[in-house]
Each structure stands twice: as structure tokens, then as C-alpha cells.
Amino acid sequence: MDMAKLQDFMGKLVVDLGGATLAANMLIGEELGLYRAMADSEPVTPAQLARKTGCHERLVREWLSGQAAAGYIEHKEGAFRLPPEQALALAVEDSPVFMAGGTSAIAAMFLDKDKIVAAMRGNGAIAWGDHHPCLFKGVERFFRPGYRAHLVAEWLPALEGVVPKLEAGAKVADVGCGHGASTVIMAQAYPKSRFHGFDYHEPSIATARQRAEEGGVADRARFATATAKGYAERDFDLICFFDCLHDLGDPVGAARHALQALKPGGSVLLVEPNAGDSLDENINPVGRFFYAASTCLCTPNSLSQEVGLALGAQAGEARLRKVFLEAGFDIFRRATQTPFNLILEARK
């Protein structure tokens, strides 16, 4: 027994259990507007923050103390301050690094614990729509900041000849669109193009329609409930899969369907979690996050559907290439990447 190794591991576990507990406090702080009330980075006492947010002062002090112990906020002489850098991640919804909104997706994994345990003991399947509804908004808010920061500025320009088509007026599909964050962002950037969001989860499609209204693009962003192999529209210049291909039961079937629905010369934009091609390459903070989420969300969803390929959220580029070549595409390449995402392009 190596006692030093045990001590090191106990230290790591304390940090991780603290992180899991803190996630619940982050969710609470986000919902109550505690972070937002500190977004100006001015020092506040617990009494001032409690007054500002209409919360119980003693509990606010305890929450602030936990946030200070975690290094999320600063503490000096009884006052607490959210530094501007941390405010970007915790309080500013429109910032490119806003993360607090995604915590409700993490909450779903706890709320659905019994279903996940039953799936692991049984056939592995949990359909997306059978999760607690806090998942759907959490996923939207987790991914949207990245789409806002990179989709129009970097990802679409990294594709071969796609931006001129979008500027002139293209027909675009967003498959597995969820709440339509990516669809609305593209529709706002390219007013001459027409966007069709598809998802098999009807409540998500209803929210996506609402988001298009709120974003002023309902005239050019339409949504329909359809599976990735079931939409009937054709002649797309661009078909997108944002963080959903690995969730599908039959990704090869979905890619084949996309190939049939593309115009000659059309492209697929595939956005997937960043991953290397082997487990050894994914032993890092991004791998730790996505494998854990994939155990509870992505892989059970795939197993709930026809074929049940269960790629998992850390499939990696080589495995994804195999899917698209098997479906009949000739060209598959990495267009660009971020620390969280691989941006891949497929063409015939």
C-alpha cells in the first residue's frame, strides 16, 4: 500500500465531491440571480445581496462562503466580490464562456438517477424525452455560448464554399436541433437563407419555434418534429448536426439520409465533442466531462433507438469518418476545432 498515493487520491476525491456539491449551489445561485446581482464586480455583504435578490440572509452568507472557499468569488472583511473574469462564466448569459446555464443539464443526471441505474441493469436505453425537462434547457444553455462565439465567425467559414451560398440564399437543415440555438444564430446571420430545424423530441421543437419568434427569425427558421432519418425535405445546400450525431441510434442511416437530401455539391457540417481516437487520448478534463455525461445521457439515448450504435460522446474523428464513408460520402475532413468541439465537413 502506497500511503502517499492514497493521500493524493483522497485529496482528489474531496475536490471532486466538493465540485459535485458546488454544482448544486451553482444551479441555485443561477436560478436565484445571485451571480447576476454580483455581475458589476462591486463588493457586497450578505445582507446587501440578500436584499437585492429577495433571499434569506443567513443562507446567502452560507452560499457566499462556499463560493469563496471554492475560489469562485473573492472575500475580504465580510464583503464578497465576483471578479469580472468569473462574472463572464457565471453571470453574463451572452458571454462566449458563460457556463452556469449548463448546470441544469447536470442536475438531470441526479434527478434521473433511478432511470439510469435501471438502464445500466437492463437494456441500456433511455430516450431523450424521458429525462427530466431541466435537461433540455440545460443543454441549450450549455452549447449556445460556443455556437454564438464560433459558428458564424469560424466554423461556417472553415467549410469549403459554404458562406457565399449562405449569403446568396441557401437551404439549410439543422438535424437534432433541440431548442434551435444553432438554427436561430445562423438565421440571424444569413437573412437570405432558409433554415429547417428537425428534432424527434416534440417539446424541444415547440421551444425552438418560440426561440425563433424571440430572435426575430420565425419567417426564415422553421421547425418540424422529425427523426434524423425521417424528414422529407430535399435539395439542401447544407445539413448540420450539432452535438447530436453520437446521440442517434443509427448515425450511419442519418448520414445516408442526409446524403440523399443534399443538393449536388452540398455539404454536411458535423459538430461533435472534441475527442481523440482512443480512451488514452481522452484521459483529460474534457474526456472526464463528456464520458460522464455520455454514460447518463448520450449513450442511453442511442441505445433506445433502432440500430443502437452507441458511439458515445467521445467517438473521435476516425470513428466519425467511418460513419460518413459507410454512408456514401467521399470527402470527410476536420475543418477546425475548439477545446470543446471538433468541426468536421463531409461531402460527396
Ligand X SMILES: C[S@@+](CC[C@H](N)C(=O)[O-])C[C@H]1O[C@@H](n2cnc3c(N)ncnc32)[C@H](O)[C@@H]1O
Nearer to ligand X, 16 or 326 (CB): 326
276: β partners: none
Cell numbers given for 219 = 419567417
Nearer to ligand X, 87 or 254 (CB): 254
Nearer to ligand X, 146 or 287 (CB): 146
Nearer to ligand X, 87 or 271 (CB): 271
Cell numbers given for 316 = 473521435
Give the list of residues 6+ apart from residue 214 with CB closer than 8 angstroms, or none. Answer: none
Residue 33 — left, alpha, or beta (φ > 0 → left; ψ -120 to 50 → alpha)?
A: left
The residue at minimum Cβ distance from ligand X is 178
Nearer to ligand X, 45 or 338 (CB): 338
Q: Please, where are the H alpha helices in the chain?
A: 3-32, 46-53, 57-69, 84-90, 103-111, 113-121, 134-150, 162-168, 181-189, 202-214, 251-261, 285-293, 299-303, 317-327
Nearer to ligand X, 87 or 139 (CB): 139
Interface residue list for ligand X (CB under 6 A): 128, 139-140, 143, 176-178, 181-182, 199-201, 204, 227-228, 242-244, 247-248, 301, 305
Q: Least distance to ligand X from the beta carbon of 48, Å?
A: 36
Residue recorded with cell 450578505:
46
Q: Least distance to ligand X from the beta carbon of 343, Å?
A: 13
Q: Least distance to ligand X from the beta carbon of 95, Å?
A: 18
Q: Least distance to ligand X from the beta carbon of 218, Å?
A: 18
Give the Å distances, CA to CA, from 192 to 58, 169, 183, 186, 217.
54, 4, 14, 11, 11
Nearer to ligand X, 128 or 329 (CB): 128
Evaluate whether 166 touches 190 at the Cβ level (below 8 Å).
yes
Nearer to ligand X, 155 or 242 (CB): 242
How far apart, in Å, do the first and last CA atoms of the chain sit?
Answer: 57
Q: Least distance to ligand X from the beta carbon of 297, Å?
A: 7
Q: Least distance to ligand X from the beta carbon of 159, Å?
A: 17
Residues 13, 100, 131, 24, Cα dihedral to 10°: 50
Q: Least distance to ligand X from the beta carbon of 57, Å?
A: 37
Q: Least distance to ligand X from the beta carbon of 177, Å?
A: 5
Evaluate whether 340 touches 274 at the Cβ level (below 8 Å).
yes
Residue 298 — left, alpha, or beta (φ > 0 → left; ψ -120 to 50 → alpha)?
A: alpha
- 3-state SS of the chain: helix, strand, coil percent to 5? 55, 15, 30
